[in-house]
Amino acid sequence: MTETPLLSVRDLKVEFPTRRATLTAIDGVSFDLKKGEVLGVVGESGAGKSITGSAIIGLLEPPGRIAGGEIRLKGERIDNLSQAAMRKVRGKRIGMIFQDPLTSLNPLFTIGEQITETIMTHLPVSEAEARKRAIGLLEEVGIPAAGDRLDAYPHQFSGGMRQRVVIALALCAEPELVIADEPTTALDVSVQAQIIGLLKRICNDHGASVMLITHDMGVIAETCDRVAVMYSGRVAEIGPVRDVVKSPHHPYTVGLMGAIPTLIGEHDRLTQIPGSMPRLDAIPKGCPFNPRCAHVFDRCRAERPDPIDVGASRVACWLVEEGRNGHANEVEQA
Amino acid sequence: MLAFSIRRLFQALLVMIVVALIAFTLFRFVGDPVNQMVGVETTPEQREALRERLGLNDPVIIQFARFILNAAQFNFGTSYQFKQPVAEMIGKRLPATLELSIVSAILAVLVGIPMGVYTGLNRDGVLSKFLLSASLIGISLPTFFIGILLIFIFSVNLQWLPSFGRGEVVQIGWWSTGLLTWSGIKALILPAITLGLFQMTLIMRLVRAEMLEVIRTDYIKFARARGLPNRAVNYRHALKNTLVPVITITGLQLGTIIAFAIITETVFQWPGMGLLFLQSVQNVDIPIMAAYLMLIAFLFVLINFVVDLLYFYVDPRLRAERAIK
Amino acid sequence: MSDEPLKQDAPRGALKRALDSDILHSFLRSKITVIAAVITALYFIGALFAPWIAPHDPFDLAGISILDARVPPLWMDGSDPRFLLGTDDQGRDVFSAILYGSRISLAVGFLSVILAAIVGVLLGLVAGYVGGRTDAIIMRIAEVQLTFPAILIALLIDGAARGVFGNLDREKYVFWILVFSIALSLWVQYARTVRGSTLVEKNKEYVQAARLIGIPPFLIMIRHVLPNVIGPVLVIATINLAIAIVTEATLSFLGVGVPPTQPSLGTLIRIGNDFLFSGEWWIAIFPGVALALLVLAVNLLGDWLRDALNPKLR
Ligand SMILES: Nc1ncnc2c1ncn2[C@@H]1O[C@H](COP(=O)(O)OP(=O)(O)OP(=O)(O)O)[C@@H](O)[C@H]1O
Ligand SMILES: [Mg+2]
């Protein structure tokens, strides 16, 4: 703990007050992200990955709100900034990439307009300068004849090209952190790997850390330095990719790892964990995973486990804490 | 673009032909045109001669073709009641109706769009809720009653504004305008508000609904995530996208304004085509009815065409170009 | 978006949803809707039982006296305790005339909405089911028709009717001419909605199955389509009721609606309009307010119904 992490999330709690009850979508999430690091975030649909990202960038959709915890960027709190101050963080210090490039760009403005507008919002440059930068960025993300394409509208680009434009947009004010929320899910399989590779390379070139939200454990294994596994609005396990993939501790992670297609191509090994994640209004007492866990015992149903250090990872599981995790290496990866 | 225009043109033509057919049917089969044109003392022989001269003995299809040809040259025959050429009568009254309609339309757009944007952006604001409730009342008040209320307040009680007529008009060529005299402008105020209010509330609600939809889209979220100022997100990005569908529907609304002018013209005794049309309905003056119908359809088609062009201008997706893979 | 649990059990009939307690709940929660419903109900009762409720019979020539003409409403100087809202130029009680007038307004409104719904639903079913040229023709007609506002269509039909029946005979049929012309201007929306739903249902398996067993597929379709469209049709009908009432009032105001011997609210306003300047404002304003209140209440109900049946919009 010598150097301050770039991003530090502590005990984050996000609530959605509704007519009937207050739903807690994120409950006590903590993690750090170091400078230059790529952190993967995985978990089933509804685990709270996107909400965590939105909370960090301060764009929770009302009535959603941060109900507790802190978010620090380079040591400064950003979760309680004013609207105007937070606006200066968005785009300038934290860039965001959404899932669907087809709908992320405004169809009525040229991509040049959208990029220069963003650059000029954050950097004190002239329009000509902003345009020059925009062309440079588009070249960097691999758009051919970038100078000519600047005045094209989004619909004139293919999906993959548009996501490249989106990446350029997210990076155009040189943010220190990029949050990419499933940046390739909506894309053709053939270009997914390219885009992920591009994202990693370009963030590396610009010295930006990445928080990569995805469903794809394969992508995590190839791209990330560390990975956080989320379940029901909590972090089940977080640690270096090698450790989490090779020797997962949390039974949920073990299940997820079983879902990676191996290179050998045995697709029937996409074992699904039986059951589904609880709805927000019906999260069970104790460990939220307990109804689906093969190793459940009494304590899991009664008390909620807190994350503890296991090697370089942190795991929230009673099995691990009580040293009963003999099962952990059931799934060995080649 | 060309294929698009041709298809549009074809549709417009179809609309015009259908309307012409209706107008023709009215003209030819509702009552006997000859009976309407001559007095009781006319002999059967004279009637037959007139019938022959008017071509009423020709096959119906030829009569229809002749009707269309005449209509294309703005020849709609003679009014049964006034014994004057219909085209001339309508031409004289066209400026009054167009001035009223255009001023109302501008009013409706200039007030309706900002109110829609405001209520869309400040969904839960007190003023928004007030405007929204007021708009429901605006939609529920029949146009003619709005006119009566305005007359009751501003003409009868306060005596600020005239309750009927166009005031002094200035003749510019064949066009007569009330916009150049003070009394003309004063006379226009109440009718224009009456005619515009309904469209204004409609446009406001439409813009609001559209705005709420656009605000939720990914590209607006992404614009916010890039740290663009609220002003740019709301008034540059969201507004432009909101206006795309609004243009179409507003265009259609403008078409109906001209028709709705019938009501306003009646309330304010505004000497326009609407009033003439209403009289023609009451007196079964078919040539005027037919001509008015054709004219409205024509204006409508014209507005549609302008709207299409505008749409084309605003939305680059229509200016198709091939995507680069 | 909402706190509703994800109800994804395929297309449930809107009617079933309508009976869902959620809807009742949302109805009772919205105070303004309850008030609107009560007002609408009062109009209905007032209209149905006008002969019993109204203090006077405005159409009974023996009962009215020109001596009672132009009496102001109760709270003004020179009023008469018999006439709550004053009298018109003939000595008719304005309040009673409003009750009787609502009767005609509501009757024309209802009948034309029902007629429009029947015609629209049938044409929509046929267009969607038969498809091809029939569909193209029906929808083209609908498109052209949408070009013209209801009021213009009604005026044209009325003009034609005068030509066909003559101005005097027309008075006998005027009620039905109104119903017919208003209905004609309203059917398109139903047809479009029903056509859309029919197109969806048409390709479902049960239609094929029905054909196999030898049941006329069209009948089967109607049974499946109708429950799906009942919600939207109800919403359209409610909003159309308001439009129909306004259209009737407007036509009567313009002098092409019901004659002064059987005045609707619009006719009453037309009559009163002549007295605005001579100070007898109540003759026009009270019927106008009554009309606006009725239309507002119906519009509010329609708005609520639309939101309630379409949770996505909430
Ligand atoms: N506006 C909202 N109101 C109430 N609950 C919400 C709202 N938005 C999200 N949630 C809930 O928050 C939880 C987390 O949602 P989130 O979008 O973060 O999931 P996710 O992990 O990103 O899933 P996915 O992989 O499908 O994107 C979900 O259970 C969701 O239902
Ligand atoms: Mg998500």
3-state SS string over chain C?
A: CCCCCCCCCCCCCHHHHHHCHHHHHHHHHCHHHHHHHHHHHHHHHHHHCHHHHCCCCCCCCCCCCHHHCCCCCCCCCCCCCCCCCCECCCCCEHHHHHHHHHHHHHHHHHHHHHHHHHHHHHHHHHHHHHCHHHHHHHHHHHHHHHHCCHHHHHHHHHHHHHHHHCHHHHHHHHHHHHHHHHHHCCHHHHHHHHHHHHHHHHCCHHHHHHHHHCCCHHHHHHHHHHHHHHHHHHHHHHHHHHHHHHHHHHHHHHCCCCCCCCCCHHHHHHHHHCCCCCCCCHHHHHHHHHHHHHHHHHHHHHHHHHHHHCHHHC
Mean of the per-residue pLDDT values for chain B?
84
Ligand 1 pocket, residue A212 CB under 6 Å: no
pLDDT at residue B225, as a whole number? 92
Q: Residue A18: its chain C contacts at CB < 8 A?
A: 2-3
Ligand 1 pocket, residue A186 CB under 6 Å: no
pLDDT at residue C313, as a whole number? 41
The class (CATH top level) of A7-224 is alpha beta
CA distance B203 to chain C (A): 16
Cβ atoms of residues C197 and C225 within 8 Å: yes
Q: Residue B316: its chain A contacts at CB < 8 A?
A: 107-108, 110, 153, 155
Q: Quickly tell me which residue has 């609904």 as its tokens.
A: B209
Query: Is the model's pLDDT at C113 over the cut of 90?
Result: yes
Chains near B (3 or more Cβ pairs under 8 Å): A, C
The model's confidence at residue C5, banded by pLDDT at 50, 70 and 90, is very low
Mean of the per-residue pLDDT values for chain C?
78
**Searching chain C, which residue's CA lies closest to the CA of residue B14?**
C144
pLDDT at residue C18, as a whole number? 47
Task: Provide mean pLDDT across the span C264-285.
Answer: 83
How far is residue A159's CA from residue A156's CA, in Å, rounded to a whole number?
10
Number of the ligand 1 atom closest to the C-alpha atom of A49: 21
pLDDT at residue A272, as a whole number? 65
pLDDT at residue A160, as a whole number? 87
Which amino acid would we find at residue A111?
Answer: I
What is the Rg, in whole angstroms, of the alpha carbon atoms belonging to chain A?
21
- Identify the residue whose C-alpha is closest to ligand 1 atom 16: A48
Interchain CB distance below 8 Å, C284 and B148? yes
pLDDT at residue C207, as a whole number? 73
Q: Distance between alpha carbon A273 and the CA centroid of its chain, in Å?
A: 22
Mean of the per-residue pLDDT values for chain A?
86
pLDDT at residue A240, as a whole number? 94
Quick check: B141 contacting C, CB < 8 Å?
Answer: yes
Task: Provide mean pLDDT across the span C127-150.
Answer: 82
Closest ligand by atom to A214 CA: 1
Q: What percent of chain C has pLDDT over 90?
A: 12
Task: Provide mean pLDDT across the span A1-19.
Answer: 85
DSSP state of B156: I
How far is residue B268's CA from residue B100's CA, in Å, rounded to a whole number?
11
- Identify the residue whose C-alpha is closest to ligand 1 atom 25: A45
CA distance A141 to chain B (A): 15
Strands A234-240 and A226-231: antiparallel
Ligand 1 pocket, residue A318 CB under 6 Å: no
The model's confidence at residue A15, banded by pLDDT at 50, 70 and 90, is very high
How far does the centroid of ligand 2 lie from the alpha carbon of residue A54, in Å?
10
How far does the centroid of ligand 2 lie from the alpha carbon of residue A53, in Å?
9
- Identify the residue whose C-alpha is closest to ligand 1 atom 7: C1
Task: Provide mean pLDDT across the span C187-193.
Answer: 89
- Identify the residue whose C-alpha is closest to ligand 1 atom 17: A50
Q: Residue C157: its chain B contacts at CB < 8 A?
A: none
Query: Is the model's pLDDT at C60 over the cut of 80?
Result: no
Task: Provide mean pLDDT across the span A286-292.
Answer: 87
Taking only the tens place, the pLDDT of each residue in B257-270 is 888 899 999 999 99
Cβ atoms of residues B237 and B223 within 8 Å: yes
**Searching chain B, which residue's CA lies closest to the CA of residue A166?**
B222
Number of the ligand 1 atom closest to the C-alpha atom of A279: 29
Which two tokens mark B310? 């505008």
Ligand 1 pocket, residue A214 CB under 6 Å: no
Peptide bond into B59 cis (omega under 30): no
Quick check: B220 contacting C, CB < 8 Å?
Answer: no
Q: Residue C3: its chain A contacts at CB < 8 A?
A: 16, 18-21, 23, 281
Interchain CB distance below 8 Å, B222 and A169? yes
- Identify the residue whose C-alpha is closest to ligand 1 atom 29: A46
Lowest mean pLDDT among A81-95, A203-217, A254-268, C65-79: A254-268
pLDDT at residue C154, as a whole number? 83
Query: Is the model's pLDDT at B245 over the cut of 50?
Result: yes
pLDDT at residue C157, as a whole number? 84
pLDDT at residue A329, as a whole number? 45
How far is residue A264's CA from residue A226's CA, in Å, rounded to a whole number?
24
Q: Is the pTM of this model over 0.90?
A: no
Q: Is the CA virtual torsion C196, C197, C203, C208 positive or negative?
A: negative
Task: Provide mean pLDDT across the span C88-96.
Answer: 77
Cβ atoms of residues A240 and A226 within 8 Å: yes
Helix axes B182-215, B86-121, angle to 10 degrees: 40
Buried b (16+ CB within 10 A) or exposed e, C142-161: bebbebbbbbbbbbbbbbbb
How far does the centroid of ligand 2 lie from the alpha carbon of residue A241, in Å?
21
How far does the centroid of ligand 1 lie from the alpha carbon of residue A48, in Å?
6
Buried b (16+ CB within 10 A) or exposed e, C9-19: eeeeebeebbe
The model's confidence at residue A331, banded by pLDDT at 50, 70 and 90, is very low
Best probe of the C interface among B158, B202, B284, B301, by most C CBs < 10 A, is B284
The model's confidence at residue A165, banded by pLDDT at 50, 70 and 90, is very high
Chains near C (3 or more Cβ pairs under 8 Å): A, B
DSSP state of C93: B
The model's confidence at residue B104, banded by pLDDT at 50, 70 and 90, is very high
**Searching chain B, which residue's CA lies closest to the CA of residue A175?**
B226
Domains of chain C and any CATH numbers: 30-313 (1.10.3720.10)
Query: Is the model's pLDDT at A310 over the cut of 60?
Result: yes
Q: What percent of chain A has pLDDT over 70?
A: 92
Ligand 1 pocket, residue A91 CB under 6 Å: no
Chains near A (3 or more Cβ pairs under 8 Å): B, C
User: Which stretch, A48-62, B12-26, B128-142, B166-180, has highest mean pLDDT?
Assistant: A48-62
Residues 6+ apart with CB under 8 A from A228: A31, A39, A40, A41, A42, A235, A237, A238
Query: Is the model's pLDDT at A334 over the cut of 50?
Result: no
Interchain CB distance below 8 Å, A20 and C3? yes
Nearest to A44 by CA among A263, A230, A220, A289: A230
DSSP state of B48: H
Which amino acid would we find at residue A116?
Answer: T
pLDDT at residue C7, as a whole number? 37
pLDDT at residue A259, as a whole number? 58
How far is residue C177's CA from residue C270's CA, in Å, rounded to a whole number?
20
How far is residue C288's CA from residue A328's CA, in Å, rounded to a whole number?
80
pLDDT at residue C112, as a whole number? 93
Lowest mean pLDDT among A233-237, A304-308, C177-181, C228-232: C228-232
The model's confidence at residue B319, banded by pLDDT at 50, 70 and 90, is low
Query: Is the model's pLDDT at B323 over the cut of 60?
Result: no
Helix axes B286-314, B86-121, angle to 10 degrees: 40
Higher pLDDT, C81 or C294: C294
Ligand 1 pocket, residue A56 CB under 6 Å: no
Domains of chain B and any CATH numbers: 95-267 (1.10.3720.10)
Number of the ligand 1 atom closest to the C-alpha atom of A52: 18
Interchain CB distance below 8 Å, A156 and B321? yes
- For B26, which of C141, C160, C273 is closest by C-beta distance? C160
How far does the centroid of ligand 2 lie from the alpha carbon of residue A59, in Å?
14
Closest ligand by atom to A48 CA: 1
pLDDT at residue C6, as a whole number? 37
Q: How far are the Cα atoms of B37, B245, C113, C192 from residue C189, in angstroms, in the given order?
A: 40, 19, 11, 5
Dihedral in degrees, nearest 10, Cα atoms B227, B231, B234, B240: -110
Ligand 1 pocket, residue A50 CB under 6 Å: yes
Report domain extents, chain A. 7-224, 247-333
Higher pLDDT, C11 or A255: A255
Q: How far are the Cα atoms of B201, B263, B266, C284, C285 from residue B145, in angstroms, in the given order?
A: 16, 10, 12, 9, 8
How far is residue C60's CA from residue C54's CA, in Å, rounded to a whole number?
12
Ligand 1 pocket, residue A64 CB under 6 Å: yes
Which two tokens mark B48? 């037959």
Lowest mean pLDDT among A83-87, A249-253, B23-27: B23-27
Query: Is the model's pLDDT at A72 over the cut of 90?
Result: yes
The DSSP-derived string for C148-190 is: S-HHHHHHHHHHHHHHHH-HHHHHHHHHHHHHHHHHHTTHHHH
How far is residue B144's CA from residue B147's CA, in Å, rounded to a whole number?
5
Q: Is the CA virtual torsion A177, A181, A182, A188 positive or negative?
A: negative
Ligand 1 pocket, residue A26 CB under 6 Å: no
Query: Is the model's pLDDT at C81 over the cut of 90?
Result: no
The model's confidence at residue B321, banded by pLDDT at 50, 70 and 90, is very low
Residues 6+ apart with CB under 8 A from C153: C145, C181, C184, C185
Nearest to C191 by CA among C236, C147, C148, C224: C236
The model's confidence at residue A328, banded by pLDDT at 50, 70 and 90, is very low
